[in-house]
Amino acid sequence: MNNKGYVMSLASFFLILPAFLLLMVLVDLSTNEAQTQEATLNSHEVLGVATDLETNLPFIGREVIRDKSLEVVNSGIPLSNSRKEVKEEFQNRMDKYCSKYADKGVFVECIILKVDNSYDPFCVEVKSKITVEKGTLKHNVNLTQNISLTNGSFPIYDPLPFVKCRGHGGATINEERISYGSSLANYLQSRGIKNYEAYENATSPLSIKKCPYDPYILHGNTNELVNLKNCIDNGFYHESNDGACFLCRMEGKGICSHYGMETFIIPAPTISPCMNNSSTAPSSVDHVIFNDTGHGTYSGHPILYFSSENHYFSLYLDNSHRQKYGVPIF
């Protein structure tokens, strides 16, 4: 090959080189773009899974609390450690829920760290840690969520009466109320409580519902105690420094050290007013009636809140609860 041939070959090489370099750049850009798109898709999927878990945690938690309370309602046997047992069952259900993502190539883990009281007695607080991984992406988040105990379409039953009346005839469910028959009177009699007969055939609310008459003095400052009657008819619960929290109710405790709740236990209607000022019976508040730790069951005087034909509906309230609910002090 002469010099002219070498020059032509070299010239051809330099003409081809830019095209080759451009091709390499385009291939690299295409690869980077594909990797970027994959990372973006993975990122969206990872965050979507984390959001899905965060959204569904309270619903699964409510199911666990409902099912655990139903165990107590049906058996009358309290949980030995409600926080531990709810946490363990919650973890089991979250493990099952997370496993469904394995087929999608996503590692998902939700660790239930703690189940305990919330600042709101009508909620249970749950702390958890969520981990979601796909490829090189990893997302961690620590959550503190409140699980509501009040939901009309998803009722959670109060287990305490079923524990206390077990062995005394047993409480039963009658539509949306707890019917005691003779069991509550028997329970009070077994503790030596005077005038236990007032609670023969008594009733109380079945599911946890927060009272809307707040402040609570609104119960008594209406004509003919209409708000008090509406509260009783709807089976509302109230915040209470003395009443047991829901987790302790599942352990069969009528009182506890936590900020809790209370509701009225309603004596059966009578055929006469029974408004003798000297008549007393255990105060018609559940934590008073179910406080079997000492002298916590104290008496109240009757207050007539409704009458119809020959039926008279009364509560027995001590002065402390009369003041709380805005009804006249005795």
pLDDT digits (tens, 9 = 90+) for 81-108: 999 999 999 999 999 999 999 888 899 9
pLDDT digits (tens, 9 = 90+) for 245-272: 999 999 999 999 999 999 999 999 998 8
Task: Identify which of 251, 160, 242 has the alpha carbon closest to the alpha carbon of residue 208.
Answer: 160
140 and 164 inside one domain: no
pLDDT confidence band for 195 (50 / 70 / 90): very high
Average pLDDT, the chain: 89
Q: What is the mean pLDDT of residues 19-24?
A: 55
Last residue of one domain, picked from the residues 118, 148, 178: 148
Number of domains in the chain: 2
Q: Is residue 15 part of a domain?
A: no
Residue 91, C-beta contacts closer than 8 angstroms, at least 6 positions apart? 111, 112
Q: Is residue 7 part of a domain?
A: no
Q: What is the mean pLDDT of residues 41-57?
A: 87
DSSP 8-state secondary structure symbol assigned to residue 218: G
Asked if the model's pLDDT at residue 39 lies above 50, the reply is no
Q: Is residue 137 part of a domain?
A: yes
299 and 192 inside one domain: yes
Instruction: Decide if 72 contacts 159 (C-beta within 8 A).
Output: yes
Asked if the model's pLDDT at residue 65 lies above 60, the reply is yes
79 and 204 inside one domain: no
Domain that holds residue 112: 38-148
Q: Is residue 24 part of a domain?
A: no
128 and 169 inside one domain: no
What pLDDT does residue 136 have? 87
What pLDDT does residue 17 have? 56
Sign of the dihedral through C-alpha 193, 194, 200, 206: negative
User: pLDDT: is 27 or 62 the higher one?
Assistant: 62
What pLDDT does residue 12 have? 57
45 and 70 inside one domain: yes
Asked if the model's pLDDT at residue 284 lies above 70, the reply is yes
50 and 172 inside one domain: no
Asked if the model's pLDDT at residue 3 lies above 60, the reply is no
Asked if the model's pLDDT at residue 27 lies above 60, the reply is no
Q: Is residue 3 part of a domain?
A: no
pLDDT confidence band for 153 (50 / 70 / 90): confident
Asked if the model's pLDDT at residue 128 lies above 60, the reply is yes
What pLDDT does residue 111 have? 98
What pLDDT does residue 219 have? 97
53 and 81 inside one domain: yes
Helix (H, G, I), strand (E, B), or coil: what is residue 287? Answer: helix
* Lowest-confidence pick of 7-16, 44-53, 183-192: 7-16
Q: Quickly count: other Cβ atoms within 10 Å of residue 236's Cβ.
A: 20
197 and 312 inside one domain: yes
127 and 182 inside one domain: no
pTM score: 0.86
Asked if the model's pLDDT at residue 7 lies above 50, the reply is no
Last residue of one domain, picked from the residues 128, 148, 168: 148
Sign of the dihedral through C-alpha 7, 9, 10, 14: positive
Asked if the model's pLDDT at residue 274 lies above 70, the reply is no
Annotate 193-208 with b (16+ C-beta within 10 A) or e (fewer). beebebbeebbbbbbb
Asked if the model's pLDDT at residue 238 lies above 90, the reply is yes
- Tokens 């005839």 belong to residue: 169
Helix (H) or strand (E) run with residue 62 in it: helix 3-75
Q: What is the mean pLDDT of residues 158-183?
A: 97
What is the Cα–Cα distance from 166 to 190, expressed in whole angstroms?
12
pLDDT confidence band for 1 (50 / 70 / 90): low
DSSP 8-state secondary structure symbol assigned to residue 220: T
User: pLDDT: is 33 or 219 the higher one?
Assistant: 219
172 and 224 inside one domain: yes
Q: Is residue 260 part of a domain?
A: yes
Asked if the model's pLDDT at residue 209 lies above 70, the reply is yes
Last residue of one domain, picked from the residues 148, 171, 206: 148
Asked if the model's pLDDT at residue 243 lies above 50, the reply is yes
Asked if the model's pLDDT at residue 28 lies above 60, the reply is no
260 and 136 inside one domain: no
262 and 299 inside one domain: yes
Q: Is residue 51 part of a domain?
A: yes
Q: What is the mean pLDDT of residues 15-25?
A: 57
Asked if the model's pLDDT at residue 30 lies above 50, the reply is no
pLDDT digits (tens, 9 = 90+) for 296-316: 999 999 999 999 888 999 999
Q: Is residue 47 part of a domain?
A: yes
What pLDDT does residue 309 have? 84
